[in-house]
Structure 1
Amino acid sequence: MSKDKLHADIEWRDDGQPLSRAFDDIYFSSSSSPQEGLEESRYVFLQQNRLPERWAELPKGAVFTIGETGFGTGLNFLAAWQLWLDTAPTSARLHFISVEKYPLHSADLQRALDLWPQLQPLAGQLLRDYPPLLAAGVHRLHFERICLTLVIGEASAALRSLCLEDERSDRLVDAWFLDGFAPAKNPAMWTPELFGNMAALSKPGATFATFTCAGLVKRGLKDAGFGLEKVPGYGRKREMLRGVLEKTGPAEITSTPWHLPDSESDRGQRPLLQPVPPLVGAVRPGAVRPGAAAGREPSSQQTIAVIGAGISGATAARALAERGRKVRVFEQGPEPGSGASGNDQGILYAKLSPKPGPNGDFNLHALLFALRYYRNYCADAAHFCGLLQLAQSDKERELQRQVAAWLDFHRAGELARAVDAVEAGRIAGLPLDFGGLYFPSAGWLEPQKVCATLLRHENIELHCNTAIEELQQRENGWLLKTCRSGRSRPDRSRPDRSRPDRSYIDNEEFSADAVVVCTANGMTQFAQTSPLPLRPIRGQVSSAAAGQQSQKLETVLCGEGYLAPAFHGRHTFGATFKLKETQTELRESEHRENLANLAELLPQIAGEFSTGPMQGRAAVRAATPDYLPVTGPVPDWESLNNTYAALGKNRKQLIAQTADYQRNLFVLGGLGSRGFTYAPLTAEVLTAWLCGEVMPVSCDLVKALHPARFAIRALGKKKGN
């Protein structure tokens, strides 16, 4: 095996096919040609799971989920994708979950997929969105009606990382592709833990198929509750296995389930889905029949209210609409992105870390997801001109040195790479005194255009100039009330008061089955979400006319502040950071502060800007104490404190109880100064909570983003620990 122990070590044989040096095994059947590999995949995994028949019978709007061990070259995924397009209803969605310990680098993947011209252009779409940095963890990729969740890590642990340890949310998989290198070559993968985690993620009656009949595989599957049947293998292989999950047990609880709403409170984990139809007839041992073949079918009669049309509300609404949900968006401003998302230019930026941890992991995966997201959804409002993160201090240079080594080890130059001052200046189009990290695929966005674009969907109904003042829970949903009679508010979305005060509709009420609050610091106005510890942070962006030198800038510069390339003849730069300040008037002192920061980076440009009139905009961001967003269900705060009060004496103890949650109430916020980078992935997490999908991040990150985390930490810090 090569020194790179994180990625596939490929030997390309004379016939052009890949072989793993680590396991001395082939990736697919090669008895005569690559076509044999594709045909074997279709026979073993598609036919033996009876997918053509099951998919043809899916009802409108159904969701079908496949789990796979061993992504490899992506052959099984592409074969399933092609079959789905040929057989499934056009309104149905396929969710494909695959784990891989040693992923192929993109160049090797492309070379492998070139062997199957008949899988184009699907392979081209996969290659376009394939992660440029194959870091451990969950990578979520969308291809219209297809969703790929690729988990990098050892197979058993990777599957376990998707478990929330909850019977209703974890059992999502309809069919398994049990692939991977042969047990004789890679016995470490085929463990009892692997089969147990498969069972934990399976619906009752879920099917599986695998090319092997090895004894340890048969024993492992049987012990996990699967019924087995031997059938003829493909080609010269005499036998293979297929089967169905016959027995299920309760979810294993290894840690206090504070993140899970209580089942008796009708939690809202999957509030808008029809029940999964029961299996018809008994399952005979050894028989193979699709379990829950109808998948999960959403109800078209129910509505989700999203409060706020900034980037958090826009991404949340779009993700839900893409799943077929009816969404009503309420914005107190005159148009989407009227608040903190309303600057002329928004920077697509994240802070990478070479060390594992919630903040570093989330920043990386959020950036990777956002780069794909805006390219696919908002290409006309995104400017991928590149971004230079410049190191202006010894501390930052040392951190970037470590990040650069980490990137180099992952061969992730497509995402970011180190550059010296000379190369940085060449990339920027202006001489620079600092080197740094160059992100060639990053850049800047047109914020209001992005929000408006995302909200243009047939399933989204937008209500502007509508300020929701109060939420009232009803037996079958929520009542949303606008401003009370006799009240009006000034328009604070424009600090320069370029717009007149707007009038609000009094005493209007709206109903919804579920509510998502995306109002930044405005979350604290609602009684249900007021305990969230959000921090207001004022930020002022300055704007100046492009000068003779500044107009040469070709990429975004980030250091102590940022400077974006000219847009409509003007540059934006800044921004200030004023913790706990909520005023939004423009301040000359903060223009000077922004100029001073720019002078440290580009003194000649700051000199140009200082000679002309300055414009700008001030808004209030919302951040959390740990600077990670909040997304997920909202607890009943009193129930949460009472249920887990004993953590005040021993914060490490396991309390195997769940608390009450406020039915079908969710939040998405606390994005801070990286809202456009954080929002798409955070909205994907929110949508997984609402729609009962597998999470797009690990369970650890689900908890790190959870709205209840601060209350649980506070309990754990009480006297007695």
Structure 2
Amino acid sequence: MINRDNNPWRPLPAPNIDWRDGIPVSREFDDVYYSTDNGIAESHYVFLEGSQFLSHSKEKRLTIAEIGFGTGLNCLVALNAWLDQSNQRAPDSTLHYVGFEAQPLTKAQLQRAWEKWPTLSHLATRLIRDWPQATHGCHRLYWPNWNITLDLWWDDAQQAMNDLASRRQRYFNIWLLDGFTPARNESAWSPSIFSTMAALSRKGATFATFTAAGDVRRGLTAAGFTVQKRPGFGVKREALSGQLDTLKETPQASGITPWDLTPKMIPPKKAVIIGAGLAGSFAARALAERGVAVTVLEANAVASGGSSNLQGITYTRPSRRHGVLADFALASYQIATRLYNQLLGTTLVEGVDGQRCGYLQVTEDSETLDYLKQFADCDLPFRVLNAEKASDELGAPLTQDALFFPDASWLHPAAVCHERLSHSRIQLHEFCGNCDFGSSTAGWQINDSLGNRYDSDILVLATANQLTEASETAWLPLQTIRGQTTHVPATESSSGLRTAFCHEGYLAPPRLGIHCLGATYGPQDTALDERPADHRINLQKLASALPSVSFSTTEAAISGHVALRCTTTDYLPVVGPMPNRPAFNACYASLKAKKTRFIDEECPTLPGLFVLAGLGSRGLTAGPLAAEILVSDIMGEPSPVPRYLQQALAPARFLKRGIVRGRPL
């Protein structure tokens, strides 16, 4: 299992590439990224034909893994072939493609590589647009119009595959082995790689590769694959292909107690979600896009709770060291910015529902700024700017260096909720009042305050602080944070602002002539009254950080909004299955004596009950990734995050922590 905790944060280095007749060649491995004869023809023959792609393409949920993603040529050839088969498969079938790459190309290198293949430009344009920056981890790209999910793991393939294998699930139908030649890149062709492939493969999974090296053939055979030689492509004399006919019993062996894993379940056909704020809206959309019929029940109106602010900003804060807070914040920021940049100008109205404007972060943490400056030439989600360049980006004078995040947006949370809930498989019921629920033989039964009953395979609770009112979830250590934002009309001094500005608070560019700034921070304060003193605090903080921008301070000019945010005691969301608390405490009681003890017992859960809550003030940023983590788990898909992050979000973490500390909840 990957664990980066407290390691120094560093981006991945860009590969050193030479270009020979437009074909990229790795200097380190002295090997081409694809055939010099015809890369597309090679992909079709070696990888699609070799893996029996057409016979797999009719699968309802086809999942492909590629070791050595490179330029993405094999991926886009496979995606194109799958799209061409649309008349021969179920209309709601999906393709999930997982690529492993330890040295991802820069976007500029990728763009140059794809100039050679205009016939796939309809796919290459999207890949280039969404290409992730050079940060470790899994980067999920989702193209809903085609029902395609692309997970790009920028990590060592063995480490990432081990992490997936630790979840005890068999995900893959097809393996494409396309690392650099085994003679120069042994780690991508090791016996442990092949045994992990087998552990992650479904019965009948196939593989294909360009090489026929003896060590590769013997390693795959030892892992349980039936291996055949076939004629190679171009100058290659032979290539290998094969399949896994028999599933070996894999040792539960990660040696990691499965306290965080959802027991295997049949993917649901129906789901009920209680709560139509950002958390519930993102979860509903993620389920609906996977073919699940979703009913959303909201006590009041959509986005009437903590998601009711006028504006919010997609936000993260880089750190000098890895840690679950920093790593989740950066991963969620990247998937959120990809999503909103697709929606703005299409289903979200630019300037009304949101705006891609970037944001500048000023900070007194000069050590972190100095540390991050060394990565100025790397492809990252942020840049360190000196005061002069930061002032130019902001459109107002600054006297200190700042971090600039060019892909960020401000958004109107209610508009995002409505957009996410606008789907043919989602039924929304507002003003239902409080709901009660209970398990049944068929799943869950939910009753609203109007006397309506809903039956569902699964139930997702996205009710923020109201989770403490249900017996099943009352023990979760949630806390309420009162936040008041201030709304002021744009002025001459604020009209030139080009980006959002973050300091101790934030200032967004105006929405329909009104700026939103704030917000105050009031732990355990549940009062919803609007306070003039809090407006003064917001304005004073902004004046101190950005004195060149001023607003009218008359009472007539100032209004605002109060919302209660829900967070946890460790400031991370709760995402995942609800454990059965008494059974969990009994099952894992011996962790008190030794927290690293391996207990090979499935996590006791309340079957079919899940939660997504505790997003705090980061709902716009954390919500998309949190929903993908939850729904991937429910549907039995590969996770979009390493397991250490999923553990950090699991509701059961608080129970495990209590046992280890000798104070069970």
User: TM-score when scaled to structure 1?
Assistant: 0.86
Task: Specify the alignment match of 2:70 in structure 1.
Answer: 72
Among 457, 473, 484, which residue is 1:513 paired with?
457
Report the residue type matching 1:74 in the other structure.
G
1:698 deviation in Å? 0.8
In structure 1, give the amino acid aligned to 2:310: D
Match of 1:303 among 258, 270, 275: 270
Structure 1 residue corresponding to 2:266, chosen from 265, 271, 274: 271
Q: Which AA in structure 2 matches 1:22?
A: E
| Match among 429, 440, 456 for residue 463 of structure 1 | 429
> 1:244-303: per-residue Cα shift (whole Å, max 9, x none)?
113322343311110124xxxxx4x43335xxxxxxxxxxxxxxxxxxxxxxxxxxxx31
Partner of 1:487: none
Q: Secondary structure at the match of 1:468?
A: coil
CA distance in 2: counterparts of 1:315 and 1:700, whole angstroms:
22
Give the secondary-structure state (helix, strand or coil) at the position aligned to 1:94.
Answer: strand
1:422 aligned onto 2:388: yes
Q: Following superposition of structure 1 onto structure 2, how do residues 520-669 of structure 1 map, counting pairs within 5 Å? A: 520-606=464-550, 608-609=552-553, 612-669=556-613
Q: Where does residue 226 of structure 1 map in the other structure?
A: 225
Deviation at 1:398, TM superposition (A): 2.1
Tell me which residue corresponds to 2:56: 54
Aligned partners of 2:619 and 2:224: how far apart in 1? 45
Q: Name the CA distance, whole Å, in 2 between partners of 1:50 and 1:527.
A: 51
Of 542-551 and 69-78, more deviation after overlay is shown by 542-551
Say if 2:320 is the partner of 1:354.
Answer: yes
1:466-522 per-position Cα deviation (integer Å, ceiling 9, x unaligned): 133322110111111223xxxxxxxxxxxxxxxxxxxxx2x3322211011111111
Paired residue secondary structure (2:552): helix
Residues 134 and 379 in structure 2, CA contact (< 8 A), matched pair in contact too: no
1:17 aligned to which of 23, 27, 35? 23
Check conservation: 1:38, 1:79, Cα contact below 8 A: yes
2: CA distance, partners of 1:331 / 1:477: 20
Map of 1:324 onto structure 2: 291
Change (3 A) 1:524 1:401: same
Separation in structure 1 between the aligned mates of residue 377 and residue 214 of structure 2, nearest angstrom: 38
Measured in 2, the distance between the counterparts of 1:599 and 1:45 equals: 60
State the 1:50 CA deviation: 1.6
1:418, 1:612 → 2: CA distance? 39
Give the C-alpha shift of residue 154 in structure 1. Answer: 1.4
One-letter code aligned to 1:97: V
What's the CA shift for 1:410? 2.7
Secondary structure at 2:179 match in 1: coil
Q: Which residue pairs with 1:27 in the alignment?
A: 33
Contact 1:316 1:684 in 2 (8 A): yes
Aligned with 2:165: secondary structure? coil
Cα RMSD (Å): 1.8
CA distance, structure 1, for counterparts of residue 655 and residue 55 of structure 2: 49
Tell me, yes or no, if structure 1 residue 398 matches structure 2 residue 393: no
Residue of structure 2 in register with 1:382 after alignment:
354
8 Å CA contact 1:539–1:618 kept in 2: the answer is yes
The equivalences for 1:94-113 within 5 A come to: 94-113=95-114
**Structure 1 residue 378: Cα displacement:** 4.8
Tell me how far 1:190 sits from its aligned partner: 1.1
The one-letter code of the counterpart of 2:580 is: D
Q: Secondary structure at the match of 1:139?
A: strand
Structure 2 Cα separation of the partners of residues 716 and 400 of structure 1: 37
1:96: how far off? 0.5
Q: Is the 8 A contact 1:311 1:679 kept in 2?
A: yes
1:155 aligns with 2:157: yes
Once residues 634 and 358 of structure 1 are traced to their aligned partners in structure 2, the CA distance between those partners, rounded to angstroms, is 21
Q: Which residue of 1 aligns with 2:126?
A: 125
| Counterpart position of 2:142 | 142
Contact 1:378 1:450 in 2 (8 A): no
Task: Give a deviation string over 1:509-544, Cα, whole Å, max 9, x none.
Answer: 222110111111111111111111111111111111
1:370 matches 2:336:
yes
Task: Check the 8 A contact 2:573/2:613 in 1, yes or no.
Answer: yes
2 CA distance for matches of 1:604 and 1:378?
30
* Runs of at least 5 residues in structure 1 that lack an aligned partner in the other structure: 262-266, 274-301, 484-504
- Give, as a single letter, the amino acid of the residue that structure 2 aligns with 1:399: T
Q: What amino acid maps onto 1:223 in structure 2?
A: A
Match of 1:695 among 639, 649, 654: 639
Report the secondary structure of 2:516's partner residue.
strand
Aligned partners of 1:307 and 1:468 also within 8 Å: no
* 353-362 or 108-117, larger mean C-alpha shift: 353-362
Which residue matches 1:63? 61
Q: Does 1:315 pair with 2:314?
A: no
Deviations 1:203-223 (A, max 9, x none): 011111111111111121111
* C-alpha contact (below 8 Å) 1:4/1:409 kept by paired residues: no
Taking structure 1 as reference, are residues 322 and 607 closer, same or farther at Cα in structure 2, changes over 3 Å only? closer
**Aligned-residue offset at 1:611:** 6.9
Q: Secondary structure at the match of 2:189?
A: coil
Structure 1 residue 403: deviation in Å? 3.0
CA 1:550–1:236: 2 relative to 1, 3 Å = closer
Shift of 1:622: 0.8
